[in-house]
Chains A and B, each alone.
Chain A
């Protein structure tokens, strides 16, 4: 049975895609990329089918099981992230492909496609890895690929942003690796499942967790370690920004969540959880405020990512030392927030990219009159904005509702305040964009027109961010498979 298991293909296919992309001439790269997409979908659907039929799958690569070999773990959470990656990546790829078709050639962005496929491979290996060293490898690969993607345009600004990003990524991985070394020295195992029993609750485990957490929150750009994010995400190509904001920053958070759930509650203490929650609250407020103050459209969207990451960190105080009900609600809420933010933010970045292309200017103030000429892209932007504001009927709203319920159930009303104020702040910056685009200023009637496929890709992502709010039940049920919050919520 293990021969037929499609699990490793989730990593092999994108790696193969990356290699092939390097080898073929530049003008074939786009076509090759689009040809591999259906294969990715097939593998993704096959793996999801396996989960539905047989439950959680553990796959030992080459037949060597832990602690010696590399194991892949496919529980609901992991496969949910895989499916999300395939979906977001496909639409970003369509956007990038039709942009390339519009320009007629790839120009300076020839390395886009190989790097994109490496990114998918790195992401999938992180979602599926079940030991902390493999997670490190994935993390390092992901960081380097992401830096490459940011540097792609080659402008001075992009290179500066990429350098900063590189520094943050390396520092983060280093901290994480130190933690891994400490845990391995203490317990002799790297498997996530063993950490709780082997690492114990001693000082070593605490220092290790502190180091790893520090490294991971630096990579996730949690306030106040977020300074590298806005130039990197705000300056990259639109589909790259979309992938970075939607998936890449989530990868390090994902590892952090796995770690916290694996470790002994004496190590992952309530005080530490509250500290993470407080930083998250800071991110929500500071990120929202900074987003509102931006004059460039894509920087506004980038700061919005800083803010939205903050919500995800409320997970830690809401599950640590609280009742099962509150914990289950927080689990559901955080995952739904993660999914809907990924969809909405990717949609918003693509839409912002289209608007910038249409305006021929990165400034929000130049949006005046665009509501008449590019209504579809503006509509997608607004739709994604609804989800980010957490207004119904959107994924962002349902997620916020779950987090609110969790906070109220566990009596931590201060997180309720953060959720509500954060929503109002995001409304302020989203409507700032809409307000500028509704201005019927001095008549300007020349706007560039991006191809329809680019507008539709943005719309599809934004609409998916809305739809997941109304159809939240089934993805959440799936992602509970094999989780500590397995039954009910």
Chain B
């Protein structure tokens, strides 16, 4: 059907048009802008769900045209892509609601929401990209569209953060471009298809392939905040809370992690990557990042910075799962792509709520916050327990599959990493929870707002509760159809097990 060849493009275009429309609206048209933005987000979500159902029935959705001789622009809905696109569209909707509440009465909202939509368009483009070239196109577009969000406040601090962000991401992009171009020279257009093209290459080229793999991982590792390329992430925390939420849970870090998944499974193919001996070093790097991020998180006194280092650590679970040779480990990595997104966005929403409602930024100011803001605090607790991996929450499902996957792949030491990391997660989250729930309030709140509300402004609270409920459901209902786990298993069945 003709529509099926256009649908992937339409899905990307919904947020692109939303961005254009928002840029064209005058600054004061707040209600119209919000209505426009929210309906675009809802339409996009609907279309992605439509495609998701189709993909389960083996319908092909593919947009393709020749950009220049030998290079195609391909957008295609495959199970893995739909998984990431689904996450992006769900969280775009909630983050938009949150941002409308968060930025009430703030200046430059037109610019903010415009680039925000552009950022989502790039993320969905990354998700649906059908070859490495198209992936790179949207990967760089993401860098460009997030920069204005990082520097949104226009203060010296945020401009410095923007500078660091650009230095890392543009540098990473350059290395990635080199890798992509080199691979293109060897095998032509690199479509995502379980490494079909690379396996048949002359073995004399294998060292070259290893170098290319390293370049690709370096380029992607910047956004995925792999050690030692994670430096931009904690500094980028000066951005407004919805931006941090989006950067950490969906767009930027996930784009990097998702890219690594694509490179390992769809460019090299997991078996071929295993033969080249590339997986073990990747697993070691991911494990080192997991532990390092957790250790640094322990030392932070600022709530958002602690969450930022926690992101550094958690995103590497996805990379770790990718590097485990075997279907179960893969499921563990893929499912965490969704789980981490839901849990981390909840935590960042909560941090934003505390900051906006009480003026609290430091962890030691949180004493007694549970009484003033019970609903937000429950959401925070759910997110934190999920990250630690308390059964039956989402994080537990991830760690269980990763552990079994590690044993199957013969990497027993990974289990020790998982246990150690869970202990560290507990060590940096439990004291926060203790302060929130069990300590009495010490001093008046630094900067209190929303006195009229029992908790906080409903535009801020509702998305928080929604994502918290979803992360709870992802764990408790993991066995049901359409849960993240179910979807991760579909990906593995359809794509990687012949």
- Judged by a CB distance under 8 angstroms, whether B101 is at the interface is no
Q: Is there contact, CB below 8 Å, between A473 and B66?
A: yes
Q: Is there contact, CB below 8 Å, between A408 and B182?
A: yes
Within 8 A of A (CB), among B119-166: 136-138, 140-141, 143-144, 147-148, 151, 153-155, 159, 162-163, 166
Q: Is there contact, CB below 8 Å, between B163 and A375?
A: no
Within 8 A of B (CB), among A330-364: 332
B397 to chain A, nearest CB (A): 37
A420–B180 CA distance with the chains assembled, in angstroms: 13
Q: Is there contact, CB below 8 Å, between A392 and B141?
A: yes
- Judged by a CB distance under 8 angstroms, whether A371 is at the interface is yes
Q: For chain B, what secondary structure do more than half of its interface residues adopt (helix, strand, loop), or is it mixed? A: helix
Q: Is there contact, CB below 8 Å, between A391 and B68?
A: no
Beta-carbon contacts of B304-335 to A below 8 Å, as 1s and 0s?
00000000000000000000000000000000
A residues less than 8 Å from B23 (CB atoms): 375, 379
A435–B67 CA distance with the chains assembled, in angstroms: 32
- Judged by a CB distance under 8 angstroms, whether B234 is at the interface is no
B residues less than 8 Å from A402 (CB atoms): 68
Q: Is there contact, CB below 8 Å, between A435 and B163?
A: yes
Q: Is there contact, CB below 8 Å, between B144 and A386?
A: yes
With A371-B111, A405-B185, A440-B154 as contacts: A392 and B68 at CB distance below 8 Å: no
B155 to chain A, nearest CB (A): 7
Q: Is there contact, CB below 8 Å, between B154 and A438?
A: yes
B247 to chain A, nearest CB (A): 17
Q: Is there contact, CB below 8 Å, between B155 and A391?
A: no
A205–B163 CA distance with the chains assembled, in angstroms: 52
Give A421's nearest chain B residue, CB to CB. B174
A401–B184 CA distance with the chains assembled, in angstroms: 10
Within 8 A of A (CB), among B89-135: 107-108, 110-111
Q: Is there contact, CB below 8 Å, between A423 and B151?
A: no
- Judged by a CB distance under 8 angstroms, whether A431 is at the interface is yes
Within 8 A of B (CB), among A354-391: 371-372, 375, 379, 386, 391
Q: Is there contact, CB below 8 Å, between B159 and A424?
A: no
Give A332's nearest chain B residue, CB to CB. B68
A396 to chain B, nearest CB (A): 12
B295 to chain A, nearest CB (A): 32
Give A420's nearest chain B residue, CB to CB. B174
- Judged by a CB distance under 8 angstroms, whether A472 is at the interface is yes
- Report the interface size for chain B: residues with CB under 8 A from the other chain: 39
A364 to chain B, nearest CB (A): 14
Within 8 A of B (CB), among A75-130: none
- Judged by a CB distance under 8 angstroms, whether A488 is at the interface is yes
Beta-carbon contacts of B54-97 to A below 8 Å, as 1s and 0s?
00000000000011111101000000000000000000000000
Q: Is there contact, CB below 8 Å, between B159 and A439?
A: yes
Within 8 A of B (CB), among A36-68: none
A residues less than 8 Å from B177 (CB atoms): 404, 420
Give A439's nearest chain B residue, CB to CB. B154
A426 to chain B, nearest CB (A): 10
Q: Is there contact, CB below 8 Å, between B174 and A423?
A: yes
A437–B148 CA distance with the chains assembled, in angstroms: 11
A371–B70 CA distance with the chains assembled, in angstroms: 40
Q: Is there contact, CB below 8 Å, between B159 and A438?
A: yes
A392–B133 CA distance with the chains assembled, in angstroms: 10
- Report the interface size for chain A: residues with CB under 8 A from the other chain: 34
A398 in complex: contacting residue of B68, B107, B141, CB < 8 Å = B68
A186 to chain B, nearest CB (A): 39
A397–B68 CA distance with the chains assembled, in angstroms: 12
B residues less than 8 Å from A332 (CB atoms): 68-69
Q: Is there contact, CB below 8 Å, between B173 and A391?
A: yes
B residues less than 8 Å from A427 (CB atoms): 166, 170
A470 in complex: contacting residue of B73, B143, B155, B170, CB < 8 Å = B73
B134 to chain A, nearest CB (A): 9
- Judged by a CB distance under 8 angstroms, whether A170 is at the interface is no
A272–B68 CA distance with the chains assembled, in angstroms: 30
A127–B334 CA distance with the chains assembled, in angstroms: 56
A408 in complex: contacting residue of B144, B155, B185, CB < 8 Å = B185
Q: Is there contact, CB below 8 Å, between A431 and B166?
A: yes
B residues less than 8 Å from A424 (CB atoms): 170-171, 174
A423–B175 CA distance with the chains assembled, in angstroms: 12
Beta-carbon contacts of A414-441 to B below 8 Å, as 1s and 0s?
0010001001100100010011001110
- Judged by a CB distance under 8 angstroms, whether A482 is at the interface is no
- Judged by a CB distance under 8 angstroms, whether A476 is at the interface is yes
Give B151's nearest chain A residue, CB to CB. A438
A408–B154 CA distance with the chains assembled, in angstroms: 41
- Judged by a CB distance under 8 angstroms, whether A393 is at the interface is yes
Q: Is there contact, CB below 8 Å, between A393 and B69?
A: no
A379–B23 CA distance with the chains assembled, in angstroms: 10
- Judged by a CB distance under 8 angstroms, whether B288 is at the interface is no
- Judged by a CB distance under 8 angstroms, whether B178 is at the interface is yes
Give B182's nearest chain A residue, CB to CB. A408
- Judged by a CB distance under 8 angstroms, whether A409 is at the interface is yes
B residues less than 8 Å from A416 (CB atoms): 178, 181
With A404-B181, A435-B151 as contacts: A476 and B159 at CB distance below 8 Å: no
A391–B141 CA distance with the chains assembled, in angstroms: 8
- Judged by a CB distance under 8 angstroms, whether A489 is at the interface is yes
With A391-B140, A423-B174, A424-B174 as contacts: A440 and B181 at CB distance below 8 Å: no
A375–B108 CA distance with the chains assembled, in angstroms: 10
A residues less than 8 Å from B70 (CB atoms): 489
Beta-carbon contacts of A158-182 to B below 8 Å, as 1s and 0s?
0000000000000000000000000
Q: Is there contact, CB below 8 Å, between A440 and B73?
A: no
B residues less than 8 Å from A434 (CB atoms): 147
A401–B177 CA distance with the chains assembled, in angstroms: 9
A residues less than 8 Å from B170 (CB atoms): 424, 427
Most chain B CB within 10 A, of A332, A401, A439, A488, is at A401
Q: Is there contact, CB below 8 Å, between B184 and A405?
A: yes
A371–B68 CA distance with the chains assembled, in angstroms: 35
A435 in complex: contacting residue of B108, B162, B173, B182, CB < 8 Å = B162
A372 to chain B, nearest CB (A): 6
Within 8 A of A (CB), among B6-28: 23
A191–B140 CA distance with the chains assembled, in angstroms: 46
B residues less than 8 Å from A391 (CB atoms): 140-141, 143-144, 173
A386–B174 CA distance with the chains assembled, in angstroms: 14
A476–B71 CA distance with the chains assembled, in angstroms: 14
Q: Is there contact, CB below 8 Å, between A392 and B151?
A: no
Give A401's nearest chain B residue, CB to CB. B181
B135 to chain A, nearest CB (A): 10
B residues less than 8 Å from A392 (CB atoms): 136-138, 140-141
Which 8 pairs across A and B sit closest by C-beta, in order of nearness?
A440-B154, A392-B137, A408-B185, A404-B181, A420-B174, A391-B140, A472-B68, A392-B140
13 additional A-B residue pairs with CB within 8 Å, beyond A375-B23, A397-B137, A489-B68: A372-B108, A375-B111, A379-B23, A392-B136, A392-B138, A398-B67, A402-B68, A404-B177, A405-B181, A438-B151, A440-B107, A440-B153, A470-B67
Chain B interface (Cβ < 8 Å from any Cβ of A): 23, 66-71, 73, 107-108, 110-111, 136-138, 140-141, 143-144, 147-148, 151, 153-155, 159, 162-163, 166, 170-171, 173-174, 177-178, 181-182, 184-185
- Some 27 contacts from A to B, beta carbons below 8 A apart, are A332-B68, A375-B23, A375-B111, A391-B140, A391-B143, A391-B144, A398-B67, A398-B68, A405-B181, A416-B178, A416-B181, A420-B178, A427-B170, A431-B163, A431-B166, A434-B147, A435-B151, A435-B162, A438-B148, A438-B151, A438-B159, A439-B159, A440-B107, A440-B153, A440-B155, A470-B67, A488-B69
